[in-house]
Amino acid sequence: MPAPLKLAFLAADTEKAQEALVSLERLYGRVELKRADVIVPLGGDGFMLETLHRYMSLKKPIFGMQRGSIGFLMNEYRDDGLPDRVAKARGSKLRPLRMVARTIEGAEIEALAINEVSLLRETRQASKIRITIDDTTRLDELICDGVLVATPAGSTAYNLSAHGPIVPVGAPLLALTPICAFRPRRWRGALLPLTAKVRFDILEAEKRPVSAVADYTEVRDVASVEVIEDKKEVLTLLFDPEHNLEDRILKEQFEP
């Protein structure tokens, strides 16, 4: 019989998550992250996102359990039989996006996004943005509050709130979605190949300043932003077979 999986538990700074941490470490012990087979974050989607970013270099699969307010990326919390449950879980592979943002002053900042890269106006004036896909300009001028590029995993987050399409995990697609577009008013965005290189150029950047955000890394006063899939990083999320990520995305599209 194989040895049970070594689980390293992490918890958000909430009473519910901290109580779960104490209970699980009492049952299964405390394991250092580097020695663990699987990392188990306890919280909501925000804490999951934080965990994925912080421990990406460890290359460990992640099995999250819901102890927060929003848990789209989390499994149901149960403390019984957890090592066996994790061993039976199904994996979903995620690839982050790499954002390269160049500021008005000439600085270049890179950051990874698991959910989305979003551009947002900084002042009362609408932003003006030119959109180029694979070195071909597709939209000369988008007047809007902002625009975002979402991964399949992130398509149910900010992208969905901005009325963007839900993209099934595993589909080789990105969602390009405007945020409150004023001109062209009827443009609702586009689905792009996962391999697409997306470039945003900020028109009138000093008069109409724009910030760029990769998940929770913000760069202010950008002049241009490039977004492309990061082929070096692969993240593995584990889900119970009866409630995996693909099922959740499908269910979300039929919610009233």
What is residue 2's predicted lDDT score, i.e. its pLDDT? 67
What is residue 140's predicted lDDT score, i.e. its pLDDT? 97
Q: Return the structure tokens found at 70.
A: 């929003």
Average pLDDT over residues 225-242: 91
CA angle, 177 then 179 then 180, to 5°: 130
Average pLDDT of the residues of the chain: 92
At the fourth CATH level, the homologous superfamily of domain 7-94+234-252 is: Probable inorganic polyphosphate/atp-NAD kinase; domain 1 (3.40.50.10330)
DSSP 8-state symbol, 55: T
What is residue 194's predicted lDDT score, i.e. its pLDDT? 92
Q: Which residues pair with 219 in a beta bridge?
A: 212
Pick the CATH number of 97-229 from 3.30.10.20, 3.40.630.10, 1.10.357.10, 2.60.200.30: 2.60.200.30
Domain boundaries, the chain: 7-94+234-252, 97-229
What is residue 153's predicted lDDT score, i.e. its pLDDT? 84
Cα distance between residue 15 and residue 234, in whole Å: 32
Q: Which residue is catalytic, options 13, 45, 201, 215?
A: 45
Strands (E), the chain: 7-11, 38-43, 65-66, 90-94, 97-103, 108-113, 116-121, 127-133, 136-150, 173-183, 190-193, 198-203, 210-214, 217-219, 222-229, 235-239
CA neighbor of 237 nearest in space, from 227, 228, 245? 245
What is the value of pTM for the model shown? 0.84
Average pLDDT over residues 145-150: 97
The yes-or-no verdict on residue 167 having pLDDT over 60 is yes
What is residue 4's predicted lDDT score, i.e. its pLDDT? 80
CA neighbor of 162 nearest in space, from 143, 147, 182, 142? 147
DSSP 8-state symbol, 60: -
The yes-or-no verdict on residue 242 having pLDDT over 90 is no
45: annotated active-site residue: yes
**How confident is the model over 12-32, as pLDDT tens digits?**
999 999 999 999 999 999 999
Q: Return the structure tokens found at 17.
A: 């998550």
What is residue 157's predicted lDDT score, i.e. its pLDDT? 85
The reply to whether domains 7-94+234-252 and 97-229 share a CATH topology is no
The yes-or-no verdict on residue 150 having pLDDT over 90 is yes
What is residue 38's predicted lDDT score, i.e. its pLDDT? 97
**How confident is the model over 24-55, as pLDDT tens digits?**
999 999 999 999 999 999 999 889 999 999 99
| Share above pLDDT 70 across residues of the chain, in percent, rounded to a whole number | 94
Amino acid at 147: V
Q: Return the structure tokens found at 155.
A: 């398509």
Average pLDDT over residues 169-197: 92
Contacts of 86 (CB under 8 A, 6+ apart): 5, 7, 38, 40, 63, 238
The yes-or-no verdict on residue 211 having pLDDT over 90 is yes
What is residue 255's predicted lDDT score, i.e. its pLDDT? 64
Pairing of strands 38-43, 65-66: parallel
